[in-house]
Chains A and B, each alone.
Chain A
Amino acid sequence: GQNIDQPTEMTATEGAIVQINCTYQTSGFNGLFWYQQHAGEAPTFLSYNVLDGLEEKGRFSSFLSRSKGYSYLLLKELQMKDSASYLCAVVNSNYQLIWGAGTKLIIKP
């Protein structure tokens, strides 16, 4: 089967750094997405990794290791507005998106 694993919930403090991990097992690999989703809203795009390594985009960075089936999303200088669910999704060999259940991130003052 195909599955994506992420922690269900994480808590962090405003101004701190948090790393959200995602491990995957899929039939083939054609890239990995990270999306942010606030309650009651559609997901918004954060990053897309298809090659190994770290990609930085402002306060958010995403890392991929294809050999380990592993990715993480790193959020720096946390703000209260970063409280949301973070979804990891993998594109498999059939170009289908396989979604993780999401990680609910709670930011405390």
Chain B
Amino acid sequence: GAVVSQHPSWVICKSGTSVKIECRSLDFQATTMFWYRQFPKQSLMLMATSNEGSKATYEQGVEKDKFLINHASLTLSTLTVTSAHPEDSSFYICSAIAGLEVSEQYFGPGTRLTVT
């Protein structure tokens, strides 16, 4: 089956620094990748939709200047949390679509970010 990886799996950083999270589709090309955030005991919240070679589409309420998304190739998308604050501490999950249908969505294992 299709595999999506994320790196790092967990990261601790100091307030004010920036953190980059990578999402890779290992055995397929992903024209579209999604970035989600999940706070404890809550469901996934879609942050943005990332298409290869174009600007990401951010959901309402998500600051695009704070959460920088780059989808440079068909197998790699990155999310950079700039000037991180403790309230940005969360579980960040990416997913990728193998074909054109959202039903073929595969999730990465997630990245646990803790900002101190």
Contacts and interface: CB of A to CB of B under 8 A. Distances in A.
Specify whether A and B are partners.
Answer: yes
Interface of A: 30-31, 33, 40-44, 48, 50, 87, 91, 95-97, 99-102, 104
A96 B34 CA distance: 11
15 contacts: A30-B102, A40-B110, A40-B112, A41-B109, A41-B110, A42-B93, A42-B109, A44-B107, A50-B103, A91-B103, A95-B102, A96-B46, A97-B102, A100-B43, A101-B42
Interface size of B as a range: 10 to 19
A96 B108 CA distance: 18
Interface of B: 34, 41-46, 91, 93, 101-103, 105, 107-110, 112
B44 A43 contact: yes
A42 B108 contact: yes
| SS class, residues of chain A in contact with chain B | loop
Nearest to B107: A42
A96 B42 CA distance: 19
Contacts of A101: 42-43
Given A91-B102, A100-B43, A101-B43, 16 more contacts: A40-B110, A40-B112, A41-B109, A42-B107, A42-B108, A42-B110, A48-B103, A50-B103, A91-B103, A95-B101, A95-B102, A97-B34, A99-B43, A99-B46, A101-B42, A102-B42
